Amino acid sequence: MQPYKIDGPLEINQEHLLFWPDNPRLKISDFKEVKMPVKQLVEQRNQKKVFNLLAKHEHDVKKLAKSMVSNGFMRDKAPVVMKLNNSNKYLVLEGNRRLAAIRTVLGGNVKILKERRKTLETIPCWLFVHTSKTIPVRAAISRLVAAHHIQGQKPHTAIQKAHMLYDAYEGFLLESHPTMRNFFKDQNVINETAQFFDYGENEFEAELSVVRLYKQLRESGYELDHKIRERLTWVYGNQRHFKRYFGYDVDSFQLDSSKGVERYYDIFVRPGCAVHNPTLFKKLRNIFREGDENDVEVLRKQPKDLERIEKEVLSKKQDLRFISELRTIHKKLSALKIREYNGTESENSLIADICKLANGKLKSIIDVDDENLGSPNHIIPLQPTSNNKKRLPTTIDQALEMNIEQVLFLIQAALKNRPNNSCVEIQLPKFMLNECVIRTSGSPREKFNHLVDKSVDSLVNSGYLERYKAKNQRIRLP
9-26 pLDDT tens trace: 999 999 999 998 777 666
Identify which of 93-97, 135-139, 222-226 has the greatest average pLDDT.
93-97
**177 in the same domain as 135:** yes
Whether residue 168 is predicted with pLDDT greater than 90 in this model: the reply is no
What's the whole-number mean pLDDT along residues 355-366? Answer: 71
pLDDT for position 216? 94
Cis peptide leading into residue 9 (ω within 30°): yes
List pLDDT tens digits, range 373-408.
444 444 444 444 444 445 678 889 899 988 888 888
Does residue 239 belong to any structural domain of this protein?
no
Question: Exposed (0-12), middle (13-18) or buried (19+): which is 28, by Cβ within 10 Å?
Answer: buried
Does residue 283 belong to any structural domain of this protein?
no
Q: Which of 24-33, 344-353, 354-363, 403-412 has the lowest mean pLDDT?
A: 24-33
Whether residue 30 is predicted with pLDDT greater than 60 in this model: the reply is no
Q: What is the CATH number of the domain that holds 438?
A: 1.10.10.10
Cα separation, 3 vs 193, whole angstroms: 13
**71 in the same domain as 165:** yes
**449 in the same domain as 370:** no
pLDDT for position 369? 45
Does residue 266 belong to any structural domain of this protein?
no
Residue 17 Ramachandran class (φ > 0 left, ψ -120 to 50 alpha, else beta): beta
**358 in the same domain as 221:** no
pLDDT for position 381? 46
Whether residue 372 is predicted with pLDDT greater than 50 in this model: the reply is no
Cα separation, 34 vs 20, whole angstroms: 9
What's the whole-number mean pLDDT along residues 307-314? Answer: 89
pLDDT band of 106, cuts 50, 70, 90:
very high
pLDDT band of 325, cuts 50, 70, 90:
confident
**366 in the same domain as 343:** yes
pLDDT for position 236? 95
Structural domain for 372, as ranges: 339-383
pLDDT for position 332? 80
Whether residue 273 is predicted with pLDDT greater than 90 in this model: the reply is yes
Does residue 308 belong to any structural domain of this protein?
no
Q: How far is CA 147 from CA 127, 144, 156, 214, 397, in A?
A: 15, 5, 11, 24, 97
**447 in the same domain as 360:** no
What's the whole-number mean pLDDT along residues 179-185? Answer: 87
Q: How far is CA 114 from CA 109, 263, 294, in A?
A: 14, 58, 70
Which DSSP letter does residue 16 get? G
Whether residue 439 is predicted with pLDDT greater than 70 in this model: the reply is yes
List pLDDT tens digits, range 456-477.
988 887 778 888 887 788 998 8
**30 in the same domain as 145:** yes
Give 334's Cβ-side CA count (13 Å radius): 17
Is 0.75 topped by the overall pTM? Answer: no
Does residue 259 belong to any structural domain of this protein?
no
**209 in the same domain as 159:** yes
**221 in the same domain as 355:** no
- Domains contained in the chain, number: 3
Which DSSP letter does residue 153 get? S
Q: Which of 31-45, 183-197, 234-248 has the lowest mean pLDDT?
A: 31-45
What's the whole-number mean pLDDT along residues 414-419? Answer: 86
**179 in the same domain as 125:** yes
Give 233's Cβ-side CA count (13 Å radius): 14
Whether residue 33 is predicted with pLDDT greater than 70 in this model: the reply is no
Strands 80-83 and 122-130: parallel
Distance of CA 238 to the CA centre of its chain: 2
pLDDT for position 175? 79
